[in-house]
C-alpha cells in the first residue's frame, strides 16, 4: 500500500510556494499528565506542558494570487479563517521549485550548502538530501516529539537511508500514532501541483472562471501553465523573480499570541528548522551550520526579523548568460539571486519575467521592458517595488557591487553540486512495477 504512493509522490516536480500552519492547542498537550507531574516534583520542568503540538502544512505550487485574502478570484474561506485567527506572513520566501524548498525546510540550510543548487531530484537519479546533517524531524524526535509525515517527500529514495522513516519520522503515511508525546506532523500536499484533479461538485462552484485549468486548480499557485497565478508579482515557478519565490504562509493555533496580525518581516523556509526545534525545546547540536534563524519572536511578538540577508540561490550549473559585468567579483553570467535588506540582486538568466494577470482579467498589464537579450544584472528595492518594475542596476552601481560581493562570499562557501546522471536501474519495471529504493 505504501509503495503505491510512490508514483504520484515522486513524479510531482515543481513548487513555488508554501503554507506553514501551527496548531498548538493546549488541550492536546495535556496528554502527558504523569510525566509532567513527575517533572514538576523533580525540577519544575514544565516543558511538556509548554511544548506545542505542531502541524506543518505544505502545499506545492501555491500561487501568490491564489489565496482568498490576497484578493483572489479563488475562494479559500477555511484558509482565510485560519489565517485571520493567526499571523499572516507577508514577507515569506521559498525556493522556485519543489525539492529545493523541501531540502531547505528539512535541513535548515541553503541549497549551496547541501549540493542541491541545481534543479530538482529526478526519480531516476541516485540522489537525495545528504545524510551528513540531521533533519528537522530528527531533531524534533530527539526533543521527544512523535514525528509523522503524510504526503510528498521528494528528498530522495534511491536507498533506504533516504526515506522519511530513516530521516527522523516515526511514521510515513498511515500507521497509528501515540499520544504520549507532543506531535510534529508534516503534512505535505501533492496538490495544487499538477496533475489538476477536482471532484465535480467543487469545480461547479467556479463556473465563472473561464480558463478550464484555473477552474480545476481553484479547488485544489505557482505554476502558471498549471493554472496558478502570481499576479501582481513578476514571473512564476522555476524563476528567480518574486512570483517564483515569494510564498503564501501563515501561522495559527492556540499558542499564537499575535492573533489577526500581518507580519511583514523577512522570513525564509530555512527558518522553520530552528524555529520549530526551538518551540519543541530541542537542541540544534550536531547539525551542520544552519542558514535558518529562529523567528519565533518575530512571528509571535512582531519583533524585527533576525534575518537581513537571504540567499535565493547560486546555480553555476545553469547555462551562463551574457558576459560578466566585472572581473574582480561575482560573475554576473551565473544564475543567482540575493536579498540584502530592501534590495534584491538577480544575475544570469532568471527565467521568464513577464507579469501575467489571472485568465479573463481585463486590466492593463505592463509588458516586459525591452532590454538587451544578454542583460544579466537586475537590482530592485523589493520593499518599495515588490512587483519588480523598476530596475535600479544602472542607477545604483555601488549597490550592485556590494550585493555582488555578498554573492561572491556565499559562493566561496558552496559545496560541489550533486546532480548525478539518470540511472537505468531505477526503472520500476525492474522492481515489481513500483518506484522504490534500487540501491
Whole-number Å distance between alpha carbons of 123 and 126: 8
CA distances to 80, 155, 208, 375 from 124, rounded to whole Å, are 39, 13, 41, 35
Site for ligand NAG in 248-267 (CB under 6 A): 252-254
φ and ψ of 219, to 5 deg: -100, 0
Smallest separation (angstroms) from ligand NAG to the CB of 428: 33
Smallest separation (angstroms) from ligand NAG to the CB of 355: 9
Q: Which is nearer to ligand NAG, 126 or 235 (CB)?
A: 235
| Bridge partners for 249 per DSSP | 89
Smallest separation (angstroms) from ligand NAG to the CB of 233: 13
The answer to whether 319 contacts ligand NAG (rule: CB under 6 A) is no
Q: Segment contacting ligand NAG (CB under 6 A): 147-155, 279-287, 291-299, 400-408? A: 279-287
Whole-number Å distance between alpha carbons of 294 and 298: 9
CB count within 10 Å of CB 296 equals: 15
| Bridge partners for 347 per DSSP | 336, 377
Whole-number Å distance between alpha carbons of 227 and 259: 32
Q: Which of 70, 113, 154, 268 is catalytic?
A: 154
Whole-number Å distance between alpha carbons of 140 and 134: 10
φ and ψ of 55, to 5 deg: -115, 115
Whole-number Å distance between alpha carbons of 385 and 321: 25
Smallest separation (angstroms) from ligand NAG to the CB of 81: 9
Q: Segment contacting ligand NAG (CB under 6 A): 104-112, 120-128, 350-358, 407-415? A: 350-358
The edge-to-edge listing of strands for the beta sheet with 171-172 is 54-59, 183-189, 146-151, 171-172
The answer to whether 383 contacts ligand NAG (rule: CB under 6 A) is yes
Out of 317, 365, 384, 421, which residue is the one contacting ligand NAG (CB under 6 A)? 384
Q: Is 433 helix (H, G, I), strand (E, B) or coil?
A: coil
Among this protein's residues, is 98 annotated catalytic?
yes
Q: Which is nearer to ligand NAG, 10 or 59 (CB)?
A: 59
Q: Are 248 and 263 in contact (CB under 8 A)?
A: no
Out of 6, 45, 340, 387, which residue is the one contacting ligand NAG (CB under 6 A)? 45
Number of H helices, E strands in the chain: 13, 13
Q: Which is nearer to ligand NAG, 4 or 161 (CB)?
A: 161
Give the residue from 137, 142, 143 showing the smallest Cα distance to 185.
137
The answer to whether 387 contacts ligand NAG (rule: CB under 6 A) is no
C-alpha cell at 412: 566561496
Site for ligand NAG in 128-147 (CB under 6 A): 142, 144
Secondary structure letter of residue 12 according to DSSP: -
The answer to whether 354 contacts ligand NAG (rule: CB under 6 A) is yes
Give the residue from 166, 144, 64, 136 showing the smallest Cα distance to 291.
136
Among this protein's residues, is 208 annotated catalytic?
no
Binding mask 72-111 for ligand NAG (x = CB under 6 A): ----------x-----------------------------
Out of 27, 42, 362, 412, which residue is the one contacting ligand NAG (CB under 6 A)? 27
Q: Which is nearer to ligand NAG, 99 or 229 (CB)?
A: 229
The answer to whether 427 contacts ligand NAG (rule: CB under 6 A) is no
Q: Which is nearer to ligand NAG, 142 or 391 (CB)?
A: 142
Pairing of the two strands 54-59 and 183-189:
parallel
CB nearest ligand NAG: which residue?
286
Binding mask 190-229 for ligand NAG (x = CB under 6 A): ----------------------------------x-----
Q: Give the residues lining the site for ligand NAG (CB under 6 A).
A: 23, 25, 27, 30-31, 33, 39, 45, 47, 82, 142, 144, 224, 252-254, 281, 283, 285-286, 326-327, 342-343, 352, 354, 356, 381, 383-384
Which residues are tagged catalytic?
98, 154
Amino acid at each position: 500500500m505504501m509503495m503505491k504512493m510512490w508514483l504520484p509522490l515522486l513524479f510531482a516536480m515543481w513548487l513555488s510556494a508554501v503554507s506553514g500552519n501551527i496548531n498548538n492547542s493546549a488541550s492536546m498537550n495535556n496528554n502527558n499528565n504523569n510525566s509532567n507531574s513527575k517533572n514538576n516534583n523533580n525540577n519544575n520542568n514544565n516543558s511538556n506542558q509548554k511544548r506545542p503540538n505542531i502541524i506543518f502544512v505544505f502545499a506545492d505550487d501555491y500561487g501568490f494570487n491564489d489565496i482568498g485574502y490576497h484578493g483572489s478570484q479563488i475562494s479559500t474561506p477555511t484558509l482565510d479563517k485560519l489565517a485571520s485567527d493567526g499571523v499572516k506572513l507577508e514577507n515569506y520566501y521559498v525556493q522556485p521549485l519543489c525539492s529545493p524548498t523541501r531540502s531547505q525546510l528539512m535541513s535548515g540550510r541553503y541549497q549551496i550548502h547541501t549540493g542541491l543548487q541545481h534543479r530538482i531530484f529526478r526519480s531516476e537519479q541516485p540522489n537525495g538530501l545528504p545524510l551528513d546533517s540531521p533533519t528537522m524531524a530528527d531533531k524534533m524526535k530527539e526533543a521527544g516529539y512523535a514525528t509523522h509525515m503524510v504526503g510528498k517527500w521528494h528528498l530522495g529514495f534511491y536507498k533506504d537511508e533516504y526515506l522519511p522513516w530513516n530521516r527522523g519520522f516515526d511514521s510515513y503515511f498511515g500507521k497509528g500514532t501515540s499520544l504520549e508525546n507532543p506531535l510534529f506532523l508534516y503534512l505535505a500536499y501533492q496538490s495544487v501541483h499538477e496533475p489538476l484533479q477536482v471532484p465535480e461538485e467543487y469545480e461547479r462552484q467556479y463556473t465563472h472562471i473561464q480558463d478550464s485549468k484555473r477552474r480545476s486548480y481553484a479547488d485544489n499557485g505557482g505554476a502558471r501553465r498549471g493554472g496558478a497565478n502570481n499576479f501582481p508579482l513578476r514571473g512564476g515557478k522555476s524563476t528567480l523573480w518574486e512570483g517564483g519565490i515569494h510564498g503564501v504562509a501563515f501561522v495559527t493555533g492556540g499558542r499564537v499570541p499575535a492573533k489577526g496580525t500581518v507580519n511583514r518581516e523577512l522570513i525564509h523556509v530555512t527558518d522553520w528548522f530552528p524555529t520549530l526545534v526551538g518551540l519543541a525545546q530541542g537542541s540544534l547540536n550536531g547539525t551542520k551550520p544552519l542558514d535558518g534563524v529562529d523567528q519565533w519572536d518575530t512571528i509571535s511578538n512582531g519583533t524585527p526579523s533576525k534575518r537581513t540577508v537571504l540567499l535565493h540561490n547560486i546555480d553555476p550549473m545553469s547555462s551562463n548568460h551574457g558576459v560578466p559585468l566585472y572581473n574582480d567579483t561575482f560573475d554576473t553570467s551565473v544564475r543567482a539571486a540575493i536579498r540584502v535588506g530592501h534590495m534584491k540582486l538577480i544575475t544570469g538568466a532568471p527565467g521568464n519575467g513577464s507579469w501575467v494577470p489571472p485568465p479573463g482579467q481585463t486590466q492593463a498589464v505592463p509588458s516586459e521592458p525591452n532590454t538587451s537579450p544578454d542583460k544579466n544584472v537586475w537590482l530592485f528595492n523589493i520593499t518599495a517595488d515588490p512587483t519588480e518594475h523598476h530596475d535600479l542596476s544602472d542607477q545604483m552601481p555601488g549597490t550592485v557591487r556590494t550585493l555582488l560581493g555578498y554573492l561572491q562570499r556565499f559562493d566561496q562557501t558552496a559545496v560541489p553540486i550533486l546532480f548525478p546522471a539518470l540511472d537505468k536501474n531505477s526503472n520500476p519495471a525492474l522492481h515489481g512495477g513500483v518506484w522504490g529504493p534500487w540501491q
